[in-house]
Homo-oligomer: A and B are copies of this chain.
Amino acid sequence: MPAYWIKCVVFVALGIMATLPLKAAELAITSPDGAIVLTVKDDGGHATYEISHDGNEAIRPSRLGILFRDHHGFEGDLAISDHATASHDATWEQPWGERRLVRDHHNELAVTFAAQKGPAREITVRFRVFDTGVGLRYELEEQEAFQGHIAITDELTQFAIANDADAWWTPSRQFNRYEYIYRKGQAGTVDDAHTPVTFRRQNGVHISIHEAALVDYSAMSLLALRPGDFEAQLRAGSDGIKVHTSAPFKSPWRTIQIAPDAVGLINSDIILNLNEPNKLGDVSWVEPGKYVGVWWEMHIRDRTWGNDGIHGANNADVIRHIDFAAKHGFNGVLVEGWNTGWDGDWFNNGELFSFTETYPDFDLPMLSQYAADKGVRLIGHHETSGNVANYEAQMEEAFDLYQSHGIREVKTGYVADAGDIVRYDENGIKQYEWHDSQFMVGHHLRVLEEAAKRRISINAHEPVKDTGLRRTYPNWMTREGARGMEFNAWGTPPNPTDHISILAYTRMLSGPMDFTPGIFDLRPNEKPPLREDMQRGDPSNRPQTTLAKQLALYVVLYSPLQMAADLPENYEARMDAFQFIKDVEADWEESVAIAGEVGEYVAIARKGRAGGEWFLGAVTDEESRALDLPLTFLEDGKTYTAQVYRDGDDAHWDTNPYDYVIEEIEVMSGGTLPVKLASSGGVAVRFIEK
């Protein structure tokens, strides 16, 4: 059976009308395993594609196209004028990641559509079909009709799913960037959605729409055209233009993951495979690891970022964190609130921030030396509050400063309402941009490049969404881009019990997340406020999980920088459970999602890259579950001691979150591990080869 097949159907029209297309062409290509069939047509002058999976409809016929402000677009009156095919099977190595070796196996079809009316012009749509889904992008070559500047006003790519598919999504046009409780409902109720957005068709096939390699373009969200049918919606810049570009250009890849089951979505490398290889050369200075930090104490309103008497980033407290990190094998200490600017209305005025001036009680040279002496590094922090103008003006000097003190990782922050990123244009006019605008896509790369020059890696909070650029820029290690742990400190409401088991099948498909797991203090939030201006959340503001589920997060939610987010004293109170956080790795040789359903539960196993040990994490939503997890990932014929950190028999996230059991059992490859997860519980396992 050939790796791909092409059929070209030529209809000779009977000369009824000169304006009828003389032929309608149809091209098709399959995935390497043959299960996915992608068909491309130009029926009626429209460029369309459709996708089937195992013979069943996956994406119904969906339009392709782009419109421009100053140029004739690609929308109607199109005919396929050319096509080319290719096959590709290669394996490449990640410097760090969920797995070291990534196989890129796909068939490719590039279809050129030529306009049949107006100026001569053509555009190519390149499709790559993997066993786990499809990528497609637009490629506009240099040509007579596209001279000079090009303003893209609309992308017409459609994704016709099905009204009655289940959907999990966040809205794309509200203030809170990507930080929402996921919505659940029929696809027909989705108005607009950030990607990745995940669907489950009635036949059980799972589909996730996202994009890969978002460079010099604005981000795509989905807008419902009709119930269950979506169109790409590019984020407009402040001038209303979606993308400013010129020919030749390539759009980001639009990705359509397709899997027969939920975990199939996780076990796909499409996003990474559609990104360009590492551009940075030697990146041995990018170091995955685990860290603690001066952070949670501000979110629970025990300390402040600003210098007002209870300043968190003071020398004594930082030293305490460095000591704790060194003692327990963490290689990083994040310090927020070290720089001046936090005392005024920084949320509305990012110009207050200096990225080089420290508060008087934070001695950067002393602390970085103290850390170095203990084998630990400080992790830097740049909160911009969305004033990118102010940040870019100081950025180089700021990274110089950090580099001079041996800092290898910087957490950036863009706390600003969506659409409120501050930019000054070439006329000095203050403009407001979205976090996922072409401007911010460019800004993040400018940061990455300046950081890379100084061997610094980036952990971006309130970022643009991940589209796999860590492959090309391996110093973009992790980011936020969803509701993280801090919502449990003050969110209204806190993250719900199914949050993690939705994230695993949605946000996490895009790449690593600095969720900052590991909160051990699970008591209702009932401490009185320290000061009137520092109101804590309400009693519900605590992680709505068991303690065992907090441990499981270290395996379930992949990040090459993994925080132990709670206060040292809370870990010291439960050193037996803390042992798992000390043991677990943050960089992996292999990863495999082994069981789960979107929004219900998920179980993932990962093999540590340094130690070679397998770890497993599983979490559930509100429903307690008994699962028999298959241990097929373990090496054939070997036996292991499984160190199991599980919910106790009476555990319950709300009433009994601390009921956990740590036990060792012997398991064999190919066997199963029976686990019982409490309501919003979890299990974390370390497998030691015997």
Enumerate chain A interface residues (CB-CB to B < 8 A).
44, 67-73, 75, 118, 151, 153-154, 171, 173-176, 191-192, 223-226, 236-242, 345, 348, 417, 427-432
- A240 to B153, Cβ gap below 8 A? yes
Q: Given A67-B432, A73-B429, A240-B236, does the pair A173, B153 have CB atoms closer than 8 Å?
A: no
Q: Given A175-B226, A417-B225, does the pair A238, B69 have CB atoms closer than 8 Å?
A: yes
Q: Tell me which of B153, B427, B430 contacts A238 (CB under 8 A).
A: B153
- B174 to A430, Cβ gap below 8 A? no
| Distance between A22 CB and nearest chain B CB, rounded to angstroms | 18
Cβ contacts under 8 Å, A345 to chain B: 44
| Distance between A280 CB and nearest chain B CB, rounded to angstroms | 35
For the complex, give the distance between the alpha carbons of A589 and B429 in Å: 53
- B225 to A71, Cβ gap below 8 A? no
Q: Given A427-B70, A429-B70, does the pair A175, B236 have CB atoms closer than 8 Å?
A: no
Cβ contacts under 8 Å, A118 to chain B: 428
For the complex, give the distance between the alpha carbons of A237 and B242 in Å: 12
| Distance between A119 CB and nearest chain B CB, rounded to angstroms | 9
- A430 to B72, Cβ gap below 8 A? yes
For the complex, give the distance between the alpha carbons of A173 and B72 in Å: 25
| Distance between A190 CB and nearest chain B CB, rounded to angstroms | 10
Q: Tell me which of B427, B428, B432 contacts A154 (CB under 8 A).
A: B432
| Distance between A418 CB and nearest chain B CB, rounded to angstroms | 9
Cβ contacts under 8 Å, A417 to chain B: 225
For the complex, give the distance between the alpha carbons of A429 and B154 in Å: 14
Q: Given A71-B429, A173-B192, A432-B67, does the pair A241, B238 have CB atoms closer than 8 Å?
A: no
| Distance between A455 CB and nearest chain B CB, rounded to angstroms | 38
Cβ contacts under 8 Å, A154 to chain B: 238, 432
| Distance between A687 CB and nearest chain B CB, rounded to angstroms | 45
For the complex, give the distance between the alpha carbons of A522 and B321 in Å: 75
Cβ contacts under 8 Å, A71 to chain B: 429
Query: Besides A67-B238, A151-B239, 17 other CB < 8 A contacts?
Result: A44-B345, A69-B238, A69-B239, A118-B428, A153-B431, A154-B238, A171-B191, A173-B173, A173-B191, A173-B192, A174-B191, A176-B226, A191-B191, A239-B240, A239-B241, A240-B240, A240-B242
Report 15 cross-chain contacts, Cβ distance below 8 Å, ordered by A residue.
A67-B431, A67-B432, A68-B429, A70-B427, A71-B429, A73-B430, A151-B239, A171-B191, A173-B191, A174-B225, A175-B224, A175-B225, A175-B226, A191-B192, A240-B240
Cβ contacts under 8 Å, A241 to chain B: 239-240
By beta carbon, the residue of chain B nearest A77 is B430
Q: Which 4 A-B pairs have the closest CB atoms?
A: A240-B240, A240-B241, A69-B239, A175-B225
By beta carbon, the residue of chain B nearest A163 is B492
For the complex, give the distance between the alpha carbons of A238 and B71 in Å: 12
For the complex, give the distance between the alpha carbons of A240 and B118 in Å: 23
For the complex, give the distance between the alpha carbons of A397 and B69 in Å: 31
For the complex, give the distance between the alpha carbons of A428 and B174 in Å: 36
- B238 to A236, Cβ gap below 8 A? no
| Distance between A160 CB and nearest chain B CB, rounded to angstroms | 13
Cβ contacts under 8 Å, A240 to chain B: 69, 151, 153, 236-237, 239-242
| Distance between A203 CB and nearest chain B CB, rounded to angstroms | 22
For the complex, give the distance between the alpha carbons of A575 and B226 in Å: 41
- B430 to A75, Cβ gap below 8 A? yes
By beta carbon, the residue of chain B nearest A238 is B153
For the complex, give the distance between the alpha carbons of A241 and B240 in Å: 5
Cβ contacts under 8 Å, A432 to chain B: 67, 154
For the complex, give the distance between the alpha carbons of A348 and B174 in Å: 32
For the complex, give the distance between the alpha carbons of A73 and B239 in Å: 13
For the complex, give the distance between the alpha carbons of A176 and B118 in Å: 30
Cβ contacts under 8 Å, A224 to chain B: 174-175
Cβ contacts under 8 Å, A238 to chain B: 67, 69, 153-154
Cβ contacts under 8 Å, A171 to chain B: 191
| Distance between A405 CB and nearest chain B CB, rounded to angstroms | 32
Q: Tell me which of B72, B173, B191, B236 contacts A236 (CB under 8 A).
A: B236
| Distance between A78 CB and nearest chain B CB, rounded to angstroms | 13
| Distance between A264 CB and nearest chain B CB, rounded to angstroms | 31
| Distance between A346 CB and nearest chain B CB, rounded to angstroms | 14
By beta carbon, the residue of chain B nearest A189 is B183
- B72 to A429, Cβ gap below 8 A? yes
For the complex, give the distance between the alpha carbons of A427 and B417 in Å: 38
For the complex, give the distance between the alpha carbons of A151 and B69 in Å: 15
For the complex, give the distance between the alpha carbons of A585 and B518 in Å: 72
Of A69, A71, A176, A242, chain B has the most CB atoms within 10 Å of the CB of A69
For the complex, give the distance between the alpha carbons of A651 and B226 in Å: 36
Cβ contacts under 8 Å, A237 to chain B: 240
Of A73, A118, A239, chain B has the most CB atoms within 10 Å of the CB of A239
| Distance between A415 CB and nearest chain B CB, rounded to angstroms | 15
Cβ contacts under 8 Å, A70 to chain B: 427, 429
- B174 to A239, Cβ gap below 8 A? no
For the complex, give the distance between the alpha carbons of A639 and B371 in Å: 95
For the complex, give the distance between the alpha carbons of A602 and B118 in Å: 55
